[in-house]
Chains A and B, each alone.
Chain A
Amino acid sequence: MDFQEKLVHDLVAKHGTDRENLLPILQGVIDQERYLSEEAILKIAKEMSIPAADVYGTATFYSFLDTDPRGKYVIRVCKTITCAMKGKNQIIQAIENFLKIKVGETTIDKKFTILQTNCLGWCHKAPAMLVNDDVYTELTPESVVDILREYREEN
Chain B
Amino acid sequence: MTTTKKQLHRIDLIFKNEQDCKEILRNALARSNQEVINEMVNSGLKGRGGAGFPTGLKWKLTAEQKVDEKFVICNADEGEPGTFKDREILTRVPHKVLSGMAVCAKIIGARKGYIYLRGEYKFLVPNLKKELRRFHDILDELGLDFRVEIFMGSGAYICGEESALFESMEGKRGEPRNKPPFPTEIGYMDKPTVINNVETLAHSYTILKYGAKKFRELGVKDSRGSKVFSVSGDTPIPGIYELELGMSVQDFVDDFGDGDTKAVQVGGASGFLVPRKRFGKTSIGYQGKLTGISLPTGGSMMIFNSSRSMYNVLNNYLDFFEEESCGQCTPCRVGCQQLLKGIKAVKRGEKPASYLDQLLKLTDTMKLTAKCGLGQSVANSFSSIVENFREEMIY
Which of B81-89, B289-297, B333-341 has 4 or more CB atoms under 8 Å from chain A?
A: B81-89
> Which has the most chain B C-beta neighbours within 10 Å: A58, A63, A119?
A119
| Minimum Cβ distance to chain B for residue A110 (Å) | 21
A17 to B327, CA, bound (A): 28
Q: Which residues of A118-133 are within 8 A (CB) of B?
A: 118-126, 130, 133
* Interface mask (B97-109 → A, CB under 8 Å = 1, otherwise 0): 0000000000000
> Which has the most chain B C-beta neighbours within 10 Å: A27, A80, A117, A133?
A80
Q: Which residues of A89-141 are within 8 A (CB) of B?
A: 117-126, 130, 133-135
A20–B155 contact, CB under 8 A? no
Chain B contacts of A19 at CB under 8 A?
Answer: 170-172
Which of B12-20, B118-126, B132-140, B176-184 has 4 or more CB atoms under 8 Å from chain A?
A: B118-126
Specify which of B123, B170, B317, B320 is in contact with A133 (CB 8 Å cutoff): B123
| Minimum Cβ distance to chain A for residue B309 (Å) | 10
A125 to B82, CA, bound (A): 11
| Minimum Cβ distance to chain A for residue B129 (Å) | 14
A124–B84 contact, CB under 8 A? yes
A22 within 8 A of B: yes
A58 to B83, CA, bound (A): 26
| Minimum Cβ distance to chain B for residue A117 (Å) | 7
Query: Could you tell me how many residues of chain A have their Cβ less than 8 Å away from some Cβ of chain B?
Result: 36
A121–B121 contact, CB under 8 A? yes
A81 to B357, CA, bound (A): 25
A23–B269 contact, CB under 8 A? no
A20-B169, A80-B316 known; A61-B230 Cβ under 8 A: no
B189 within 8 A of A: yes
B110 within 8 A of A: no
B326 within 8 A of A: yes
Chain B contacts of A126 at CB under 8 A?
Answer: 232
A119–B80 contact, CB under 8 A? yes
| Minimum Cβ distance to chain B for residue A140 (Å) | 16
Chain B contacts of A120 at CB under 8 A?
Answer: 120
* Interface mask (B141-175 → A, CB under 8 Å = 1, otherwise 0): 00000000001111111000000000011111111
Which of B3-11, B233-241, B279-287 has 4 or more CB atoms under 8 Å from chain A?
A: B233-241
Chain B contacts of A11 at CB under 8 A?
Answer: none
Specify which of B120, B152, B326 is in contact with A121 (CB 8 Å cutoff): B120
Closest-by-CB residue of A relative to B327 is A61
Chain A contacts of B174 at CB under 8 A?
Answer: 61-62
A123–B152 contact, CB under 8 A? no
Chain A contacts of B308 at CB under 8 A?
Answer: 85
B231 within 8 A of A: yes
Chain B contacts of A85 at CB under 8 A?
Answer: 233-234, 308
B154–A121 contact, CB under 8 A? no
A90 to B157, CA, bound (A): 25
B81–A61 contact, CB under 8 A? no
A69 to B87, CA, bound (A): 30
A26 within 8 A of B: yes
Closest-by-CB residue of B relative to A31 is B122
Q: What are 23 sample pairs from A and B whose C-beta atoms fall under 8 A apart? A: A18-B171, A22-B171, A27-B119, A27-B152, A61-B173, A61-B326, A62-B156, A63-B156, A81-B316, A82-B82, A82-B233, A82-B302, A84-B312, A84-B316, A85-B234, A85-B308, A117-B120, A118-B81, A119-B80, A121-B79, A121-B120, A124-B230, A134-B123
Give B contacts to A, CB under 8 Å. Answer: 78-84, 87, 118-123, 151-157, 168-175, 189, 230-234, 238-240, 265, 269, 302, 308, 312-313, 316-317, 319-320, 323-324, 326
**Contacts A18-B171, A121-B79, A123-B232 given; 17 further ones with Cβ under 8 A?**
A20-B189, A22-B172, A23-B152, A24-B151, A27-B152, A62-B156, A64-B119, A65-B154, A81-B313, A82-B82, A84-B312, A119-B320, A121-B83, A123-B233, A123-B238, A124-B231, A134-B123
Q: Which 8 A-B pairs have the closest CB atoms?
A: A22-B171, A123-B232, A64-B155, A124-B238, A62-B154, A63-B155, A61-B173, A121-B84
